[in-house]
Amino acid sequence: MRPKKLAGATSGHFTKEQLEEKQKEEEVLYNYDRLNFNEVPNGVVPGAVGEWKRIANFIKDLPISELDQQTVIRYCNYSYLYDDAMQQLVAEGHVIEGKKNPLVDVVNSYSKELKVTASELGLTINSRLKLVKPTEVEKEKDDPFGDMLGGG
């Protein structure tokens, strides 16, 4: 079974009744208490507070509820840990005494966790496409390459 997409992100051919049903299903997502980004929860490590505040502006309109709090906390913490480990790796180098720096594995592990949590929260391009249908970008009228290709 394919993962569901929000009605506004679908591009298939649906009847009016199917779209109405889909929208009714989605309304349930907004029945939960919205996650309050004005208060930083206890689980956010001190270095991750900036990321908590930063992403609040980007995901506040998504159906992120109090139920998602732990996922947001994980994302913020892993973001901080990844940045910290990457800075250490850059300072030490990826090879130490002829061997791979153990921080390479740490950075890779944090990167994987970030990828999973970012996707769960709609922070990746692919996950956003499941939430919001991209609008067509209007083609520039003075496009010499487009004219050459017949798109003029």
Give the pLDDT score at 146: 53
Q: Which residue has the higher pLDDT, 4 or 41?
A: 41
Q: Are 85 and 103 in contact (CB under 8 A)?
A: yes
Q: Which residue has the higher pLDDT, 76 or 152?
A: 76
Total residue length of the chain: 152
Give the pLDDT score at 144: 53
Model confidence pLDDT, tens digit, residues 120-136: 888 887 776 665 555 54
Q: pLDDT confidence of 114, banded at 50, 70, 90?
A: very high
User: How confident is the model over 8-32, as a mean pLDDT?
Assistant: 61
For 68, which DSSP code?
Answer: G
Q: Are 27 and 59 in contact (CB under 8 A)?
A: no
> Does the pLDDT at position 142 exceed 60?
no
How far is the C-alpha of 59 from the C-alpha of 43, rounded, in Å?
19
Model confidence pLDDT, tens digit, residues 26-77: 555 556 788 889 999 999 999 999 999 999 888 877 778 888 999 999 999 9
**pLDDT averaged over every residue in the chain:** 79
Model confidence pLDDT, tens digit, residues 78-98: 999 999 999 999 999 999 999
Q: Cα–Cα–Cα angle for 138, 139, 142, nearest 5°? A: 135
Q: Cα–Cα–Cα angle for 36, 39, 42, nearest 5°? A: 110
Give the pLDDT score at 136: 43
Q: Which candidate, 9, 3, 5, 7, places its Cα nearest to that of 132?
A: 9
Locate tokens 């017949």: which residue?
A: 150
Beta bridge partners of 34: 65
Give the pLDDT score at 16: 74
Provide the whole-model pTM: 0.67
How far is the C-alpha of 2 from the C-alpha of 143, rounded, in Å?
39
How far is the C-alpha of 107 from the C-alpha of 26, rounded, in Å?
36
How far is the C-alpha of 63 from the C-alpha of 75, rounded, in Å?
17
Locate tokens 């966790």: which residue?
A: 113
Angle, to 10 degrees, between the axis of helix 69-92 and the axis of helix 102-121?
150
